[in-house]
Copies of this chain bind each other. A is one copy, B any other.
Amino acid sequence: MKLTEILGIELPIIQAPMAGVQGSALAIAVSNAGGLGSLPCALLSLEATRRELAAIREGTDKPFNVNFFCHAVPSEDPAREAAWKKSLGAYYKEFGIDPGGVAGGQGRAAFDAAAAELLGEFRPPVVSFHFGLPSAELLARVRSWGATVISSATTVDEGRWLEVHGADIVVAQGLEAGGHRGMFLSRDLTAQLGTLALVPQLVRAIRLPVVAAGGIADARAVRAAIELGAAGVQVGTAYLLCPEATTTPIHRAALRSEEAAHTALTNLFTGRPARGIVNRFMRELGPLSDVAPEFPLAAAAVLPIRAKAEAAGSGEFSSLWAGQNVSGCKEVSASVLTRELAGFATEQVSGVQR
């Protein structure tokens, strides 16, 4: 069965869920254009998730995807948190922040029984996970209304694991991809593969449909991915300048700048490696740090610095997630972009000019 048949969509284009830079509007636009729109829930409260799901049900009758992180929730570790705050001390000072007043906390939700309960009300046709899969019990609840389950593999081993543990579709997340690496079986970054190497090896290793992600910026790259054996593609970065995305002006400016040519994997913003545009914070403290607490506990201590910097117009302490090819970022509607990615010529629109 083809990916479009499995998902009930017209075009083999999945819009990558991108927590923090998009909500229901982007998902609706992509689904209505014939792709699979995605709602990322990792940064949403249950109430906000409910509102967004209602908005999607209101905005489209096409299939859509709801995405959750499914990491093991770490115990708070005061000693490690203190060390992390200490390493941020110079920034607290620079921005006039009282370290004693900096709140802790998880910051990002992991999929749990309450989320499953809420999903049950909306019965979304597709549910995707990042960082593996939730427990068998939670997964069974998602399956109870017939949802198709997607998760990401960054290695061949992870693809095999996902096949055995109940995914229906595997996203091959190549090293070029922006945002968090979905890696969950190993922390060794050297084991991460480029998209061109990962896709055909996953296609050969598992029977599930493989969706290519990472570095895909235009219709030619979509065709290349399909030539490699992918059943479709997942594209994130290219959507970041669309009006339907909630990408901040600072993030948009960074994507349009020369700086966007240099991204790196950093764990400074959350504790897990994620690809973003290199900025002062990444240059000075990382991009990878041994001091950053377990995901997602690193995030809270950085937030007030980010807030102060952004208030002053600076993205030097923001997570400017982006993949290794921003040439597909266009200030056009997500609908136009989706159809262009699928190879439908629309009006002549030009990408970011440099």
Q: Give Cα A174–Cα B157 distance, bound, in whole angstroms.
A: 22
Q: Which of A141-194 contact B (CB under 8 A)?
A: 156-157, 174-176, 190-191, 193-194
- A176 touching B191, Cβ below 8 Å: no
A223 at the B interface (CB under 8 A): yes
Q: Which residues of B contact A223 (CB under 8 A)?
A: 227
The residue on B at minimum CB distance from A191 is B262
Chain B neighbourhood of A323, CB < 8 A? 197
Q: Closest residue to A287 on the B side, CB-wise?
A: B190
B228 touches A220 (CB 8 A): yes
Interface range on chain A (Cβ under 8 Å from partner)? 35 or more
Nearest-Cβ distance from residue A137 to partner chain B, whole angstroms: 32
A selection of 7 A-B contacts at a CB cut-off of 8 Å is: A193-B215, A194-B194, A196-B225, A200-B220, A200-B327, A201-B325, A224-B227
Contact A194 B195 (CB under 8 A): yes
For A228, list chain B residues within 8 Å (CB).
220-221, 224
Copy number in the complex reads: 2
Q: Are B224 and A261 in contact (CB under 8 A)?
A: no
Docked pose: A157 CA to B261 CA in angstroms = 10
Nearest CB of chain B from residue A139's CB, rounded to whole Å = 27
With a cutoff of 8 Å between Cβ atoms, the chain B residues found around residue A329 in the complex are none
For window 110-137 of A, CB contacts with B under 8 Å fall at none
Residues of B within 8 A of A215 (CB): 193-194, 196-197
Q: Which of B191, B195, B278 meets A190, CB within 8 Å?
A: B278
Q: Does A302 interact with chain B (Cβ within 8 Å)?
A: no
Cβ proximity bits A284-299 to B, threshold 8 Å, 1 near / 0 not? 0001000000000000
A212 CB to nearest chain B CB (Å): 8
